[in-house]
Amino acid sequence: MPLAGKTAIVTGAGRGLGRAEAVELARLGASVVVNDFGRPGRDGSGEASAAPAEAVAQEIREAGGHATAHVGDVADFEQAAELVRLAVDTYGALDILVNNAGILRDRMVFSMTEDEWDSVIRVHLKGHFNTTRFAAAHWRERSKAADGGPVGGRIVNTSSEAFLAGSPGQPNYAAAKGGIVGLTTSTAGALAKYGVTANAICPRARTRMTEDVFAGLEPPDDGTLDALAPEHVAPLVGYLAAPEAAGVSGQVFVVHGGMVAVLERPKVAAKLDTAKEAFTFDELDGVLTPYFAERPRGETFAAVEVLGLKRG
């Protein structure tokens, strides 16, 4: 029980990945605050409901764990503060924050409305910031009370491979997920002196959010675990939340189907120096045009060359 005595918040935990993560953290011994706004539409539409969060909290309690449901919009600053207060007031402290809540409003960039852009950025990126802000303040105060000692806090954020490959029909989602990586690495640096880690995962899993993406990949009918089951992702979250992962921070992981890949930070793919005092248009044309002409068309810098992922 590596998380015995710990308290965790999991946002967007009423379904899919968040549910699997909340159940896994509870299985490892943590008391869990299960957050979900409970709206039925994956685009964030519909009436808020306590049912999804309460159902997962009840599932955890029936398995012998400790869980409390919270119905709230983490993209709302005050509701995010209330969520952190609930964890502290109910269980005495907060140790683990797993940010998972999100929505989809897909459209090509030339057709996207302002609201479709703003709403996805708000839920994903602002939602991650809001809970992080209040958790970080809690850990800072705990560290001060301990004369500057480490508090062992853990943040696990949810990004996506969409930020690597661009995801043409999801400019809002890809931008939000790229922003989450930046937020994660910044947070890791800012909170290191308090003994707090922050990491991001890019999961592949069959959920309500990805039903279109994996529409042609049906789950196995032989009783074996689906390679896209959220249960493949949850163990990594459990590990990153544990004391054993104290030396892991500021990292980005791709995880699915029994595989975990640690991404490298971007690195220089090619370095070109001017033969003169400064580059001219003609000189840049002479070096950059043939350089990119030799690369496969459509190959993205992040997905293939800079981060070293395998094609396909």
pLDDT band at 299, cuts 50/70/90? Answer: low
pLDDT band at 68, cuts 50/70/90? Answer: very high
Note the pLDDT of residue 138: 98
SS3 262: strand
**∠ CA 103-36-139 to the nearest 5 degrees?**
105
Q: Evaluate if residue 220 carries a pLDDT over 60.
A: yes
SS3 112: coil
Whole-number mean pLDDT of the chain? 89
With beta carbons less than 8 A apart as the criterion, state whether 141 and 157 touch: no
Note the pLDDT of residue 52: 94
With beta carbons less than 8 A apart as the criterion, state whether 138 and 84 touch: yes
For 168-186, write each residue's pLDDT tens digit: 899 999 999 999 999 999 9
Q: Is the dihedral of CA 227, 54, 210, 175 positive or negative?
A: negative
The least confident of 21-25, 98-102, 112-116, 159-163 is 159-163
With beta carbons less than 8 A apart as the criterion, state whether 278 and 272 touch: no
Would you state the structure tokens that stand for residue 281, as one six-digit string? 């248009």
Cα distance between residue 21 and residue 231, in whole Å: 8
Cα distance between residue 10 and residue 21, in whole Å: 7
Would you state the structure tokens that stand for residue 51, as one six-digit string? 């049912």
Would you state the structure tokens that stand for residue 29, as one six-digit string? 């011994």
Q: Which amino acid is located at 90 in the chain?
A: T
Sort 124 into a burial class: Cβ within 10 Å, 0-12 / 13-18 / 19+.
buried
Note the pLDDT of residue 167: 83
pLDDT band at 311, cuts 50/70/90? Answer: very low
DSSP 38: -
pTM of the full structure? 0.89
SS3 15: coil
Q: Evaluate if residue 6 carries a pLDDT over 90.
A: yes
pLDDT band at 303, cuts 50/70/90? Answer: very low
With beta carbons less than 8 A apart as the criterion, state whether 73 and 79 touch: yes
Give the highest mean pLDDT range of 38-52, 171-185, 266-280, 294-308: 171-185
Q: Evaluate if residue 302 carries a pLDDT over 50.
A: no
Cα distance between residue 28 and residue 11, in whole Å: 18
Cα distance between residue 9 and residue 79, in whole Å: 13
- The proportion of the chain whose per-residue pLDDT surpasses 90, expressed as a percent, equals 70
Note the pLDDT of residue 222: 74
With beta carbons less than 8 A apart as the criterion, state whether 41 and 105 touch: no
Catalytic center residues: 160, 173, 177
Bigger pLDDT: 307 vs 35 = 35
Q: Where are the alpha helices (DSSP H) in the chain?
A: 16-27, 51-62, 77-91, 114-121, 127-145, 162-165, 171-191, 234-240, 281-293
Q: Evaluate if residue 48 carries a pLDDT over 90.
A: no
Note the pLDDT of residue 207: 66
Note the pLDDT of residue 308: 29
Mean pLDDT for 198-202 is: 97
With beta carbons less than 8 A apart as the criterion, state whether 151 and 193 touch: no
